[in-house]
Amino acid sequence: MELLLDIALLALLLITAISIAGIKDLLAAAMLAGIYGLLSAGFFMTMGAVDVAFTEAAVGAGISPLLIVLTLALCGRQQRGDRQRAMLALFLVLPVGALLIVATHDMPAFGAADAPAQMHVAPHYIQQSMAEIGIPNIVTSVLASYRGYDTFGEVVVIFTAGLGVLSLLMRSQGIDEPTVEPAPNAQSRDIVLRVIAKVLIAPIMLYALYVQFHGEYGPGGGFQAGVIFAVGFILYGLVFGLDAVRRVASHGLVQFLSAVGVLIYGSVGLLSLASGKSFLDYSALASNPVSGQHIGIIAIELGVGITVAAVMIMIFYLFAAQLRLQPRGPSLTPDHQGTDAGTAHLASQQQGAG
């Protein structure tokens, strides 16, 4: 039965991938990409990777198609057919594929219980994590404690992406609250959408909090919770307009919170340093090492949740604000970047190049 499910999911994934490659309507491609994410999440479930499935569903079938659709609203829905690179692509892809297939020759069989990967480091986590950390979800133990530094890096990656999008899409007067132009008809007129959105938002927030704090006992944790929490705000923004949601959580606040989450995570580590132990050694946080682990994990997951939620909301604000700006006509002439400001040098540099 499991085998059948496995093969069915993989076959569907293949069909979806090939369809995306061939299709010219980018909106359909975005939707298919969302389906691909959902199918991947389903596959992860059959592999027993519940935390990963949760995250992939939230990201691959949630945030990713959302951002792609927002981009398409600004950039156009149709793709022009283009065959010129096909030969080059095949020339590069086929050797890579061949190398990968050759590599599978010596691999341990799929699902084998005596593969090196299952025999070396992993058994320690499975057998010792209850005694050393005391929570049932082994993935959370490894993520938040054993390899907690990697998770710190992950939070910084999300922060960097948020900052990168900020640097690209910010209004030129600076990172302060951009002036919000009034946008007529920003609210959805559809009564069904408005009522359902209002009904759903509270449970979404509650669910986000549940996922945040229940991550030690079941699938969940800071990242998934952050995404779900952001989705509540994004839903509000999509249905009631960007102005409405920015009145609730201003741009400046969201920016501030994105930094705060990273600082919370790092401060937990610094606290351990101050007690003379290694960075992110949670046993320094309480007299009983296992309690220290609990405190540490809750604190850092909070940091992750805050930053992820803030960055996701900030990225949504930045993308959605672009929809308001006056669309420029297509121009292929050497022109300065589509920012609103330009220093005197911009003009002189462009002319001086000639």
Partner 1 sequence: MPAPRIWRHSNRGPVNVLLASHYNYWIVIALMMIGLYMVIAQGNLVKKIIGLNIFQTSVFIFYISVGKVDGAGAPILSAGETLYSNPLPHVLILTAIVVGIATTALALALTIRIKRAYGSIEERDIQAAEDKQDRATPPLPVGQEQ
Partner 2 sequence: MLSHLPILQVILPLMAAPSCLIIRKANLVWLFTLMVSFAALAVSILLLQQVHASGPISYQLGGWNAPWGIEYRIDLLNAWVLLIVTALSSAVLTAAHTSVSRELEAGRQTVFYTLYLLCFAGLLGIVATGDAFNVFVFLEISSLSTYALIALGRDRRALWASFQYLIMGTIGATFILIGIGFLYMMTGTLNMADLAAHIPALSESTTVLAAFAFIFVGICLKLALFPLHLWLPNAYSCAPSIVTAFLAATATKVALYLLLRFTFTVFGVDFSLSHLPLDTLLIGLGLVGVFAASTVAIYQANIKRMLAFSSVAQIGYMVVGIGIGTATALQATLLHLFNHALMKGGLFLALAGLVYQLGGSRIEHFLGLGRTMPWTMAAIVVGGISLIGMPLTVGFVSKWYLIAAAIEQQLWWVAVLVVLGSLLAVAYIWRLVEAAYFQRPVNDTVKEAPLGILLPAWLLIAANLYFGIDTRLPVEVTAAAAQFLFGGAAP
Residues in 146-165 at the binding interface with partner 1, rule: CB under 8 A: 147, 150-151, 153-154, 157-158, 160-162, 164-165
Q: Does 79 bind partner 1 (CB under 8 A)?
A: yes
* DSSP of 4-56: HHHHHHHHHHHHHHHHHHH--BHHHHHHHHHHHHHHHHHHHHHTT-HHHHHHH
Residues 6+ positions from 25 with CB-CB distance below 8 Å: 77, 78, 79
Q: What are phi and psi of 25, to 5 degrees?
A: -85, 115
Q: Does 335 bind partner 2 (CB under 8 A)?
A: yes
Query: According to CB under 8 A, which residues from 137 to 176 bind partner 2?
Result: 145-150, 152-154, 156-157, 159-161, 163-164, 166-168, 170-176
Among partner 2, partner 1, none, the one that 13 touches (CB under a kind-dependent 5 to 8 A) is partner 1
Torsion of CA 61, 63, 69, 70, to 10 degrees: 170
Query: According to CB under 8 A, which residues from 272 to 311 bind partner 1?
Result: none
Q: Does 275 bind partner 2 (CB under 8 A)?
A: no
Query: According to CB under 8 A, which residues from 301 to 320 bind partner 2?
Result: none
CB crowding 199-218: b at 16 or more within 10 Å, else e: eebeebeebbeebbbebbee
Options 1, 88, 102, 191; binder of partner 2; rule CB under 8 A: 102
Query: According to CB under 8 A, which residues from 98 to 137 bind partner 1?
Result: 100-101, 104, 106-113, 115, 117-118, 121-122, 125-126, 129-130, 136-137
- Nearer CB in complex with partner 2: 40/258: 258
In whole angstroms, the minimum distance from the beta carbon of 184 to partner 2 comes to 28
Cα–Cα distance for residue pair 343/354, rounded to 1 Å: 19
Cα–Cα distance for residue pair 131/300, rounded to 1 Å: 20
Cα–Cα distance for residue pair 97/272, rounded to 1 Å: 46
- Nearer CB in complex with partner 1: 199/353: 353
Query: According to CB under 8 A, which residues from 323 to 352 bind partner 1?
Result: 328-332, 334-335, 337-338
Cα–Cα distance for residue pair 12/15, rounded to 1 Å: 5
- Nearer CB in complex with partner 2: 72/193: 72
In whole angstroms, the minimum distance from the beta carbon of 2 to partner 1 comes to 9
Residue pair 68/31 in contact (Cβ under 8 Å)? The answer is: no
Query: According to CB under 8 A, which residues from 208 to 267 bind partner 2?
Result: 255-256, 258-260, 262-263, 266
String marking each residue 193-232 x if it binds partner 1 according to CB under 8 A: ------------------------xxx---x---------
In whole angstroms, the minimum distance from the beta carbon of 340 to partner 1 comes to 11
CA 215 to chain centre: 17
User: Which residue matches tokens 């959302």?
Assistant: 66
Amino acid identity, residue 295? I
Burial bucket for residue 123 (CB in 10 Å: 0-12, 13-18, 19+): exposed
Query: According to CB under 8 A, which residues from 6 to 35 bind partner 1?
Result: 6-7, 10-11, 13-14, 17-18, 20-21, 26, 29-30, 33
